[in-house]
Amino acid sequence: MDYRRISVGLDDGVATIVIKRPEVMNALDDVTLHELQQVTQEFATDELVRVVVLTGYGDKAFIAGADIKQLSTLTPIEAETLARRGQAVCNDLEQMGKPVIAAINGYALGGGCEIAMACTLRIASDSARIGQPEVTLGLIPGYGGTQRLTRLVGHGRALEIMLTGKPISAEEAWRIGLINRVVPSEELTDVVNELARYLSGQSPLAMKYILAAVRDGFGMTLRDGCSLEASLLGLMASTDDWREGTTAFLEKRRPRFTGS
């Protein structure tokens, strides 16, 4: 499809989504959110897509946040509608059933930070700045930031980031567990692509069930979470990927997973 705000690609199981609004540092408006949700839903059901990489155009910003010009004119009802739309996009990313890697190539603020937190893994350049600055605009995070940030870094750190509104460095974000890895800016693309290619060689079904067990089990008791894990392992035992993986190990060769 032709998109106005994003570009997409697919190469050997790795799909790429690039937010392309460099004139506003890739800020999110209604059109961008709609296109991002549309392509996310398409990739979720596309068997050729095994891993998704999400990044921003250029070297200044991943996503600098929501479009402030649009926010400034919203009515209360419109603001709630926009929040629910942004939350739906984040939920679709989180629940895609495939690993989504955020390649944070610059500012990831507000809605950009929230989009990144909905991804499976977050790799940032050493020049990236990450935060939830909504309070400085008289706003609060609306795309799930109050919930995902707290779950990732704990109450104290999350409240400090949100109440001060001050962005933190990539190194600090890594130290508190907000991102998975920090790499030199010039190496970001290569590092992310290498990780994406590696993940694309794993069993799609095993990755799907790992994501489901972690996501759905998080709010359960340990007993219920372990029960979910056992059920999903039982499902895997009925698949071709299970047989291929164990057979390949015994035959001392690389497995060829088909996702069936």
Catalytic residues: 114, 134
* Angle, vertex CA 124, rays to CA 180 and CA 209, nearest 5: 40
CA distance 151 to 52: 23
* C-alpha Rg value of the chain to the nearest Å: 19
Give the SS3 label for residue 187: helix
Q: How many CB atoms lie within 10 A of CB 134?
A: 23
Contacts 24+ apart (CB under 8 A), 250-255: 254/201, 255/203
Give phi and psi for 142, each to the nearest 5. -130, -10
Pick from 109, 88, 104: which is nearest to 24 by CA? Answer: 109
Q: Which residues pair with 17 in a beta bridge?
A: 8, 54
CA distance 166 to 56: 21
Q: Are 116 and 168 contacting, i.e. CB atoms less than 8 angstroms apart?
A: no
Pick from 164, 67, 176: which is nearest to 124 by CA? Answer: 176
CA distance 72 to 69: 5
- By 3-state DSSP, what share of the chain in percent is helix, strand and coil, each rounded to 5? 50, 15, 30
Q: What is the DSSP letter of 218?
A: T
